[in-house]
Amino acid sequence: MEFSIRTLAPEKATTGCLVLGVFKDGTAAGTTLTRAAQLADRAAGGALREALAQGDLAAKSGSTLLLRRLRGLAAERVLLVGLGERGEFGEKAFLEAIGAASRALKETGARHAALFIADLKVGRRPLAWNVRQAVLGVREAFYRFDQLKTQKKPPAPALTDVTLAVLGAPVTPLAQAALREAVATADGAELARTLGNLPANHCTPSHLAAEAKRIGAQYRLKVEVLERREMEKLGMGALLSVARAAHEAPKLIVLHYRGGAKQAKPVVFVGKGITFDTGGVSLKPAPEMDEMKYDMSGAGSVLGALRALAAMRAPLNAIGVIPACENMPGGAATKPGDIVRTLDGQTVEVLNTDAEGRLILCDALAYARRFDPEVVVDIATLTGACVIALGHVATGLFANDQKLADEIRAAADDAWDRVWQMPLWEDYQEQLRSNFADMANIGGRPAGSVTAACFLSRFTRKLRWAHLDIAGTAWKRGRDKGSTGRPVPLLVRFALRHAGRKG
Ligand code: BES
Ligand code: MN
Ligand code: ZN
């Protein structure tokens, strides 16, 4: 899909479909047209108001009405989109309108659409925000994962070109830049989604490594893949203890993107890449275990973010580190009570083999130190407890540096890929006490997502570090089951803001 942004007059736009917004309000008609819709209505001799007067559009946010071949308009179709109450129009209503318009466009034969809802004022958000969200919203709605279906594939939608129309104002370079950033981010998020949705027999650690190599070749990134033997030599006992029973070979994948000054320290993203989490000997229950194919979503988001940053030639140095393996039971598997030695020399009593994410991450985090990072952010589907705490709306944020946490919170709000900060207080550390090793790998049921973060914090003391627990936000369950591509938009926005920050 091609996106462009242009100054356009709705009545003159020659397009397959004009997308126009309608607010709900307390007037006699019950609705008010946006400025663009007014102009189109006037040119069409009042045809839009007439349709609204017949009660054909509820104008609650998310409703749509398709009109065809209106006289006086150059466009073939008009799609009216309800924006909800004018006084309540904010981020949520804007995103709902973009989503509803996209879903309706999918059902039409229009190959080109001009969106006159993208430049509507959303609170204090600048136009660049609208542009990014509109592109991501349309791309999300048009995403399909049907590569493994052989039958009953729905036909591909006709739409190939989307113009974000700006009414009565010139398109600024800032808005153009936002469009390029958004397209690259959407491509990155789509990569993360597809890797997430791919089942574990397709998306193996080797597949992740091959994808990293492919991205590396396409965007000229250096990509290194460490094999089991090299990890053994380095002493990554924690990572290897998770991979022990799997027939699939573990991989430690490292991608280097250089877009900043030579001596500029890199932003390092570390992504959990468990391509399937059975729990190991501490086996998970059968219901919904298939969803553990998504346990590599952190890894997918790191690949997606690096791809996006490279595609837009972002002005910073960034490194992705991905520990990738399966967590399987079996004759060679790690057993509860086993004690392993991590890369940085600390010992861990593995009381539960299902708390494997922290075991692969602690070695990857220790490994990341060699890159002398400016900051390290890890991304992991780490704990079911985080889903209980924050549900499927906010990603859990933990950090050992409040300035970094504040930067991530601001980037998350900007990207509308939101996080909520959780405590990382010393008081929780004692839950990880072990009688036999330096620490246990679990801290009991209370504050499960906090003690998981506390575990990681023991390997990041010398770093400015943040941890994102995406267990609740990386994928959707139920009828809409599928990867969300989160937090690629957040990671990209954070990297760009961090690169451009003052002081
Ligand atoms: N990958 C899971 C976390 C998870 C569970 C994410 C459900 C999304 C949905 C992780 O490896 C895990 O199993 N964590 C355990 C930790 C426990 C054993 C301390 C959990 O959350 O139950
Ligand atoms: Mn697990
Ligand atoms: Zn896991």
284 catalytically annotated: yes
User: Ligand 1 test: best mutation among 274, 352, 354, 362, most atoms within 8 Å of CB?
Assistant: 354
CATH number 3.40.630.10 given to 185-498: yes
pLDDT string in tens for the chain (503-residue length): 999 999 999 999 999 999 999 999 877 778 999 999 999 999 999 999 999 988 888 767 789 999 999 999 999 999 999 999 999 999 999 999 999 999 999 999 999 999 999 999 999 999 999 999 999 999 999 999 999 999 988 889 999 999 999 999 999 999 999 999 999 999 999 999 999 999 999 999 999 999 999 999 999 999 999 999 999 999 999 999 999 999 999 999 999 999 999 999 999 999 999 999 999 999 999 999 999 999 999 999 999 999 999 999 999 999 999 999 999 999 999 999 999 999 999 999 999 999 999 999 999 999 999 999 999 999 999 999 999 999 999 999 999 999 999 999 999 999 999 999 999 999 999 999 999 999 999 999 999 999 999 999 999 999 999 999 999 999 999 999 999 999 999 999 999 999 997 54
Which residue ranges make up each domain of the chain? 2-167, 185-498
Q: Do 185-498 and 2-167 have the same topology in CATH?
A: no
Please tell me the pTM assigned to this model.
0.98
Residue having the nearest C-alpha atom to atom 7 of ligand 1: 384
Is the shortest distance between the CB of 448 and ligand 1 below 6 Å? yes
Q: What pLDDT, on the 0 to 100 scale, is given for residue 226?
A: 99
Tell me phi and psi for residue 377, to 5 degrees. -125, 120
Q: Which of 358, 409, 418, 458 is catalytic?
A: 358
CATH number 3.40.220.10 given to 2-167: yes
Is the shortest distance between the CB of 355 and ligand 1 below 6 Å? yes
Atom of ligand 1 nearest to the CA of 295: 1
Q: Tell me the CA distances in angstroms from 18 to 4, 112, 117, 136, 263, one per residue in order.
A: 15, 9, 10, 19, 49
Q: Would you call 13 exposed, middle or buried from its count of C-beta atoms within 10 A (0-12, 13-18, 19+)?
A: buried
Is the shortest distance between the CB of 363 and ligand 1 below 6 Å? no
Neighbours of 11 (CB within 10 A): 18
Is the shortest distance between the CB of 352 and ligand 1 below 6 Å? yes
DSSP structural state of residue 430: G
337 CA to centre of ligand 3 in angstroms: 18
Q: Which of 284, 341, 464, 497 is catalytic?
A: 284
272 catalytically annotated: no
Is the shortest distance between the CB of 471 and ligand 1 below 6 Å? yes
